[in-house]
Copies of this chain bind each other. A is one copy, B any other.
Amino acid sequence: MFKAAINAELLKDALAALAVIVDEVRFKIKPEGISVKAVDPANVAMGIFELGSSAFDEYSADESEIGIDLNKITDLLGIADKSDTVRMELEEENHKLLIDVGGLSYTLSLLDPSTIRAEPRVPQLELPAKVVLNGADLRRAVRAAEKISDHMLMGVSGDTFFMEAKGDTDQVRLEMGRDQLIDLKAGEACSLFSLDYLTDIVKPTNKVNEVTLSLGRDFPVLIDFEIANGAGRISYLLAPRIESD
């Protein structure tokens, strides 16, 4: 059993953050909320998604697992107004999700969860440095780096967080000191990341006040932030690139 109601824009934003990683998703539904763990097809980025029951206007659920094509549901939500309420109800016996929004009733066929890649194991990493910054600052640096290169260094040196991209002839660097950051835990950290992935991952951070980056030396970065006004959380784990030249 699963029956819930939630604000349309909040749901749209949450699903957009997930769509960065995968199109077809196994949602784990529990009485305390919904969660997803997914890896992108190339095994470079992982998304860990949690949306607690308090994010919903109404929520009642047993344990179950459903498979959803995010593109379909995003398409449908595109027609909703921001302030619309989305009502969802699971029809377990015939594998349908009933969605009601803006007077329209959708009947969505669910995917068989067993056809979707299984939940990955989340690695336990020791990431010595931690940086908390504004999402818009992060996104701006990534957009600037894209103009120059297809990969980008991120690291912490002393009390300074830096991002840097080098092209054939040009270069861009952002440095933020302790006073420009929301928080900084110093630690030796410097890793190179693919901008293909970072560009997508930082898109949903644009409206986010506090994004936390956890970094190491040639280690993955953990990028995480709250969604749904604190009632949910999304974490991305992005593997480093080996220095190319």
Contacts and interface: CB of A to CB of B under 8 A. Distances in A.
Nearest to A143: B79
A23 to B, nearest CB: 16
Interface stretch (A25-33, A52-60, A102-110, A122-130): A102-110
Q: Please give the count of copies of this chain that the complex contains.
A: 3
A140 B106 CA distance: 13
B143 A174 contact: no
A172 B103 contact: no
Nearest to A72: B170
A155 B91 CA distance: 26
Contacts of A140: 79, 102-104
A195 to B, nearest CB: 14
Given A109-B169, A169-B109, A144 B104 contact: yes
Given A72-B170, A170-B109, A103 B143 contact: no
Looking at chain A's contact residues, the main secondary structure is mixed
A115 to B, nearest CB: 14
A170 B107 CA distance: 5
B170 A105 contact: no
A144 B174 contact: no
A154 to B, nearest CB: 14
A128 to B, nearest CB: 25
B171 A107 contact: yes
A117 interface: no
A83 to B, nearest CB: 14
A141 interface: yes
Contacts of A107: 170-173
Contacts of A102: 140
Contact of A173 (B104, B108, B143, B171): B104
A104 B170 contact: no
B109 A172 contact: no
A106 B171 contact: yes
Interface of A: 72, 75-76, 79, 102-109, 137, 140-141, 143-144, 147-148, 169-176, 180
Given A103-B180, A105-B175, 19 more contacts: A72-B147, A76-B144, A76-B172, A79-B144, A102-B140, A103-B137, A103-B174, A103-B176, A104-B140, A104-B144, A104-B172, A104-B173, A105-B174, A106-B170, A106-B171, A106-B172, A107-B170, A107-B172, A108-B169
